Amino acid sequence: MRVYLNQMRRQGEYIVAICDQNILGESFEEGDLCIHVSEQFYKGRLVTIEEGIAAMEKASIANIVGENIVNEALKAQLIHERGIIRIQNIPHAQVVVTK
């Protein structure tokens, strides 16, 4: 499985945006919740899911969306199940590491 990984540095933070390959460019809405998996934010390099997880482990901020990357982040204990929201059954999570 492959994911898009976009890596950014902003104000001293290492930020990653990761999405499953098959949902790039899609939008999901449910009630008051909406997410657009935009190419501008999420499209970086197409990498293996393991490379995406490795980048997440180093990130101070992570924004992930998609069944595959979210499930792998759960397995790696980088996110907690209570921190996942679903929009049209697509999982999304954000991580902020405080120092």
Kindly report the CATH number assigned to the domain that includes residue 55: 3.30.1860.10
Task: Give the number of domains in the chain.
Answer: 1
Helices (H), the chain: 39-42, 49-58, 67-75
**Confidence at residue 50, expressed as pLDDT on a 0 to 100 scale:** 97
Q: How far is residue 46 CA from its own chain's centroid?
A: 13
Give the domain extent around 59: 2-96
pTM of the complete model beyond 0.85: yes
10-54 pLDDT per residue, tens: 999 999 999 999 999 999 999 999 999 999 999 999 999 999 999
- State the chain's mean pLDDT as an integer: 96
